[in-house]
Amino acid sequence: MRTVKLVSEILARQIYGLRGRNIDVFADNSSLAISPHYIRSWLDLFSRTPRVAPFLQKNDPFIVALKKELSEHTTDVHVQNDVLDGMFTFYDATKSTLNVYQVASVTFDLLFLLVLGSYLIVLFSFLVITTRGLDDLINIFRRPPSRKVKGA
């Protein structure tokens, strides 16, 4: 509100030659006072609407609303569509869909990892015992003997 009032005052003083005079053009109690409801409704519209060229359609409701509002306060309003030749390419409005899926929780993955790891350890132990014997399975987990060279 304060910024809108400041810009409006500056423009009115510049246009009507009131610079240097201590006159409030948009005083709070005057007929020209700035309406907070009006400003809030336009701010809501601006915040909800994408204003980037690729996201605007040819007859976008946002542009129609701006044209209607300007035509209520001025006499000559025209919408001009410019073609930008050069390095920029703008496409018509793009629409996309976001898909969200519910997946299994992390606890399921951890539990599955624990069960699968246990299964592999049991399978490895069974295969080592049946092919080499229990002593070889125990020797796998023992420390290897030290390879220190004895000094002379």
- Smallest Cα–Cα separation from 19: which of 27, 29, 28, 9? 9
Token digits of residue 111: 């539990």
Q: Residue 36's domain spans which residues?
A: 1-41
In this structure, the answer to whether residues 31 and 61 fall within a common structural domain is no
pTM (2 decimals)?
0.44
Mean pLDDT, residues 138-152 = 72
For residues 97 and 81, the answer to whether their CB atoms sit within 8 Å is no
The pLDDT value recorded for residue 140 is 78
DSSP string, 30-98: STTPPPHHHHHHHHHHHHHS--SGGG--TT-HHHHHHHHHHHHH-S-----PPP--SS----S------
Say what the pLDDT of residue 151 is: 61
pLDDT at 113 over 90: yes
Per-residue pLDDT, 93: 56
Question: Residue 97: inside a domain, yes or no?
Answer: no
92 in a structural domain: no
Q: Return the pLDDT at 53.
A: 63
Look at the chain and report how many structural domains it folds into. 3
Question: Which residue did the predictor score with more confidence, 66 or 94?
Answer: 66
Q: What is the pLDDT of residues 14-62, one digit of tens each?
A: 888 887 777 777 777 888 888 889 889 888 888 888 777 666 677 788 8
> What is the residue whose two structure tokens read 């080592």?
128
Q: Is residue 5 part of a domain?
A: yes
